[in-house]
Amino acid sequence: MAIMADDFEKLSLGGNVWHTANVDDGLCARIASVSEVPLQIARIMCLRGITPEDATDFLQPKIQKLMPDPYVLKDMQKATERVTEAIENSEKIAIIGDYDVDGATSTSELTRFFRHNGVEPFIHIPSREEGYGPSDLAFAEFKAKGVKLVITIDCGTTAFDVLNRAAGDGFDVIVIDHHEAEVILPQVYAVVNPKRVDDDNPYKYLQYMSAVGVGFMFLVAVNRLLRQHGFYQNKTEPDLKKLLDLVALGTVCDVVPLRGLNRAYVKQGLKVMAAQENIGLKNLMAVLEMKEAPAAYHLGFVLGPRINACGRVGDATLGSKLLCSENDVEARMLAEKFNQFNIERKEIENYVLLQAIEQAESKVSAYPMIFAYGKDWHQGVIGIVAGKLRERYNVPAFVMSIEADEVKGSARSVDGVDLGALIISAKEKGLITGGGGHIMAAGFSLSEEQIPAFEKFVGEYVQSKLGNEKIAPILNIDCAMHLSGVTEEFAENLSRLEPYGTDNPEPLIMLSNVLIGRPQTVGNGHVRCFLTTTMGGSLPAIAFRCADNEIGHALLEQRGEMYNVVGTVKIDCWQNRKKVQFIIQDMMRV
């Protein structure tokens, strides 16, 4: 969220405008009563749009309650019946996935399910050089192997040419996807996508599922039909709950809203992951020396980037291979390789980021956006670079890698600019050759000669949504309190709001009128200190990667000045001892 420069007078040290929303006190009291939580926690729930009627499902989300009959999705029954028939008849099945975490997890959940039921699927994960989604190359491979049934997952909704040719060549193609759809769909056997324009089911939160979430609903439907047909009379039925670690990982890493069914997926999936029954994930956590129980943070910022790295700078097929591994030795070798890929990814990313920043700051743009491209930029990192440019400049960022045959691009947005709609419009105008995405993130491809026309189109589109004024980000504060209120009990009550993620961010707490004590630089540019007040009390705090910015300077050069600070509250466990810690995100002089 952002506001125009003329609308504010004072920015924080982090360059933000602080905003504390008003809430209905009566509504908060009702939420507190129904949920049996303190009023402070009820206030935060109210700010998240949680009603007293939603409160129980929010705090204790249950898949059994929040997942409707899978057949509510268009084509789900048709797809289920075809795949059930294929399993019962031991047909050859092939899967086309994607090279990101959602693609790897969704491909893996299908693979594990099919293996359990006696079918070893053929897997095709395209390299980034091959391009996103199904290709003629993949179908040529499947045809040579005698495959007739192909499932695309996390891709396919707008792959008209390739899939129409495949259908014409005799393939039964089932698309399981969650990307934005157009009015026209590929002429294939079935398209299961909650974002189909003609999908009128009443459960709107299904539209926010990642591909792995849609895939899980599909497996629930197939498993049910197999059971009804008596398929499991002489064999063990798979325990679908054991796939929820994959569902949670893909859901968090695809940055979809953690509401409704998604929230239940992640809440239950974290419990499954803690049991470490997936050999690949167990070994990846061991290589990364993860000792504590996994939280949504670990999925999005520890495990996910390693799996993504193999698709960005390594071998795109390894993600699903790790997640499907049944061999500890193989899994450990893959996990160590993933870690090395991630180191390489960071080096390449830093190179491209510095070049993109130099390019962005050396030219004057007529539009409120960043538009950067280079011929030696690794296409595997352009999405990350776009995200960092968006964070740095608080405008939509478009980053492109110019390849020998075409330009590959990635974009990240700010509130108010729907990239999914932008990409569809650009395709309709013939400015790009392909692409797709969500409101906040998208990928696309185009010819090099179309770059100027595409830049003009994007600029005008963004300008029509944002205008030309300078904007500053708003930091939405959930709760203002005194330092003395940050106790272990408060921190434990806050933890009831987990898992955190999109649409349910970790609560931001403002502490008023604090002093900075005993600051010191630690680690890689972090600053540790103690927060105190004139009334007494002390709270350990840390600000990450800030030693060279305004926040770090204020902490290290403190001269007895008083601040308001904004951040998050953590319980730090060390040698079975709990300690509350404040993670500083922003500061403002009083």
pLDDT tens profile 69-125: 999 999 999 999 999 999 999 999 999 999 889 999 999 999 999 999 999 999 999
> Is the pLDDT at 220 greater than 50, yes or no?
yes
The Cα 437–Cα 528 span in angstroms is: 39
pLDDT tens for 228-266 read: 999 999 999 999 999 999 999 999 999 899 999 999 999
In angstroms, the CA 131 to CA 377 distance is 16
pLDDT at 436 over 90: no
Are both 63-339 and 363-469 of the same fold?
A: no
Which helix (H) or strand (E) segment holds residue 481: the answer is: strand 479-481
- What pLDDT, on the 0 to 100 scale, is given for residue 496? 94
Torsion of CA 349, 548, 301, 155, to 10 degrees: -40
Mean pLDDT across 41-64:
95
CB atoms within 10 A of CB 271: 14
Check residue 11 and give its pLDDT.
Answer: 86
Q: What CATH fold (topology level) applies to the domain 2-21+475-589?
A: OB fold (Dihydrolipoamide Acetyltransferase, E2P) (2.40.50)
Question: What mean pLDDT value characterizes the chain?
Answer: 92
**Nearest Cα to Cα of residue 148 among 170, 122, 119, 133:** 170
pLDDT at residue 575, as a whole number: 63
Could you please state the CATH topology (level 3) that the domain comprising 363-469 is classified under: Diaminopimelate Epimerase; Chain A, domain 1 (3.10.310)
Instruction: Let me know if 230 is exposed, middle or buried by CB neighbors in 10 A (0-12, 13-18, 19+).
Output: exposed
pLDDT of residue 415 exceeding 60, the answer is: yes
Taking residues 151-157, report their average pLDDT.
96
Binned at pLDDT 50, 70 and 90, residue 6 comes out as very low
Helix (H, G, I), strand (E, B) or coil at 398: strand
Quote the pLDDT of residue 51.
Answer: 94
Closest CA to 442 of 399, 479, 401: 399
Instruction: Find the DSSP H helices in 12-100.
Output: 25-35, 39-47, 55-59, 63-66, 76-88
Q: Which residues pair with 2 in a beta bridge?
A: 473
**pLDDT digit string, tens, across residues 475-506:** 999 999 999 999 999 999 999 999 999 889 99
> Reduced to 3 states, what is the DSSP secondary structure of residue 281?
helix
Q: What is the pLDDT of residues 322-348, one digit of tens each?
A: 999 999 999 999 999 998 998 998 999
Report pLDDT for 574.
66
User: Contact, 214 vs 177, CB < 8 A?
Assistant: yes
- pLDDT band for 440, please (50, 70, 90 cuts): confident
Distance (Å, whole) CA 372 – CA 200: 39
Kindly tell me if the per-residue pLDDT of 8 is higher than 70.
no
Kindly state the greatest CA–CA separation across the chain: 78
Residue 394's contacts (CB-CB under 8 Å, 6 or more residues apart) are 2, 414, 471, 472, 473
CA nearest to 108, candidates 327, 280, 261, 309: 280
How does pLDDT run across 294-323, given as a tens digit for each residue? 999 999 999 999 998 887 787 888 999 999
Q: How confident is the model at residue 470 (pLDDT cuts 50, 70, 90)?
A: low
* Chain mean position to CA 254: 3
Q: What is the CATH number of domain 63-339?
A: 3.90.1640.30
Does the pLDDT value for residue 279 go beyond 90? yes
Structural domain spans, the chain: 2-21+475-589, 63-339, 363-469
Banded model confidence at residue 2, pLDDT cuts 50, 70, 90? very low
**To the nearest whole percent, how much of the chain has pLDDT over 70?**
97
pLDDT band at 33 (very low <50, low <70, confident <90, very high): very high
Q: What is the mean pLDDT of residues 224-228?
A: 98
- Label residue 5 by pLDDT band (50, 70, 90): very low
Does 458 or 376 have the greater pLDDT score? 458
φ, ψ of residue 569 to 5 degrees: the values are -110, 130
Paired with 480 in beta bridges are: 510
- Give the confidence band of 67 by pLDDT, cuts at 50, 70, 90: very high
User: Residues 6 or more apart from 238 whose CB is under 8 A from it?
Assistant: 112, 113, 116, 117, 223
